[in-house]
Amino acid sequence: MKKKIAKKKRVKKRASAEDTAASNKKKKAFSAETSEKALVKFDPLQRYLSEISNYKLLTREQERELGTLVQEYGDKEAAYKLVTSNLRLVVKIALEFQRVWMQNLLDLIQEGNIGLMQAVKKFDPYKNVKFSYYASFWIKAYILKFIMDNWRLVKIGTTQGQRKLFFKLKKEKQKLIDQGFDPKPKLLSERLGVSEREIVDMDQRLDGWDVSLDAPLKEDSDTERIEFLSTNTESIEDKVSKKEIDVLLHNKIEEFRKQMTPREIEIFDLRIFSDNPVTLQEIGDRYGISRERVRQVEKNIIKKMREFFKKEIPDFASYTESGSSD
């Protein structure tokens, strides 16, 4: 009897030891598998997208209420809700710039989020403008500034041709290569409508990156390069405001042109929208009308354009009157 009891105990002890070993083996396997998954599949961007998807979108009325709380009472919780509910908008806009940046998308999202916070601070809920529409200009402006500040470009964006090249040169070169053409400067200049010299200059600038101004002057120094530079350039708020106005006006002017007659378009191009406007007499001679009649037509165009902008851009008056006064 005692032998049977001792035998049972040994069997139970052995079974328990085997169970423990099996359990430890499973734990190790699970730990190794989890570790491998964490090392291989963890993606900061996907994690970020997953987190921001938890924030609900706001209705127009909710945006207006939260905007009022921010503007009148400086309510931080309301500002937080406005920001978090529009984080997906920042990602959407950042993706539009990704083909130009072609590096870490999170850099663009980070800059866009700063622009979004600035939009929350500046948003006027009493104007008939949807917050997401207003915020998109600030988001784009901050992303665009980040790209230009971190690219090896000199005076980028100072002319229409340079702005066009900045966004289209690489894409057009690849398009020509795919079609079997050699993307020479002459062919690119014809396709993009700029000079060969501009093509060559921009191509050279796109080949490298600027030295960071935040980098230390020497390896063992805490002094940054930027401390040795002085500038009288505009503040970021002024630049963003001007960029916002430029984008709005450019798009609306194209729409307004469709409403004009051929004669009005010529007067608009040669008189109102020209860096070197021709005289009233020259236009009058073209159409066989008096200088005074040309003046009247020009005045009428300006009036219609102003009314068109007020209708199409609800806060147009604040842009033209205050500009960057905030």
Percent of the chain at pLDDT above 70?
64
- pLDDT surpassing 60 at residue 134: yes
Residue 41 inside a domain? The answer is no
Among 18-22, 67-71, 113-117, 249-253, name the one with the lowest average pLDDT. 18-22
Same domain, 242 and 264: yes
Same domain, 64 and 91: yes
| pLDDT reported for residue 70 | 92
CATH value at residue 106: 1.20.120.1810
Same domain, 61 and 115: yes
Tokens 């997953």 -> residue: 50
- pLDDT surpassing 90 at residue 88: yes
Residue 288 inside a domain? The answer is yes
| pLDDT reported for residue 117 | 95
Task: Looking at mean pLDDT, say which of 69-78, 139-148, 275-284 comes out highest.
Answer: 69-78
Residue 205 inside a domain? The answer is yes
Residue 199 inside a domain? The answer is yes
Are the C-beta atoms of 97 and 147 separated by less than 8 Å? Answer: yes
Residue 154 inside a domain? The answer is no
Instruction: For residue range 94-120, list pLDDT tens digits in order.
Output: 988 877 666 788 889 999 999 999 999
The phi and psi torsions of 224 (rounded to 5 degrees) equal -95, 155
HSE-up (13 A, CA, CB side) for residue 8: 5
Q: What is the DSSP letter of 274?
A: -
CATH value at residue 262: 1.10.10.10
* Dihedral class, residue 302 (left if φ above 0, else alpha if ψ from -120 to 50, else beta): alpha
Same domain, 77 and 125: yes
Same domain, 244 and 201: no
Residue 39 inside a domain? The answer is no
Output the CA angle 74-75-77, nearest 5 degrees: 145
Same domain, 57 and 119: yes
Residues near 55 by beta carbon (within 8 Å), at least 6 away in sequence: 84, 85, 87, 88
Same domain, 142 and 172: no
Same domain, 206 and 267: no
Same domain, 215 and 243: no
Please give the residue that has the higher pLDDT: either 49 or 1: 49
| pLDDT reported for residue 203 | 72
| pLDDT reported for residue 17 | 54
Are the C-beta atoms of 236 and 122 separated by less than 8 Å? Answer: no
Provide the number of structural domains found in the chain: 3
Residue 240 inside a domain? The answer is yes
Please give the residue that has the higher pLDDT: either 317 or 127: 127
Q: Global pTM? A: 0.41
38 pLDDT band, cuts 50/70/90, is very low
- Domain closes at, from 149, 172, 203: 149
| pLDDT reported for residue 4 | 47
34 pLDDT band, cuts 50/70/90, is low
- Domain closes at, from 187, 206, 228: 228
Query: What whole-number distance in Å separates Cα of residue 277 and Cα of residue 139?
Result: 35
Same domain, 86 and 129: yes
| pLDDT reported for residue 314 | 63
- Domain closes at, from 205, 228, 251: 228
Domain that holds residue 308: 236-322
Same domain, 278 and 294: yes
Residue 28 inside a domain? The answer is no
Per-chain mean pLDDT for the chain: 75
Same domain, 209 and 253: no
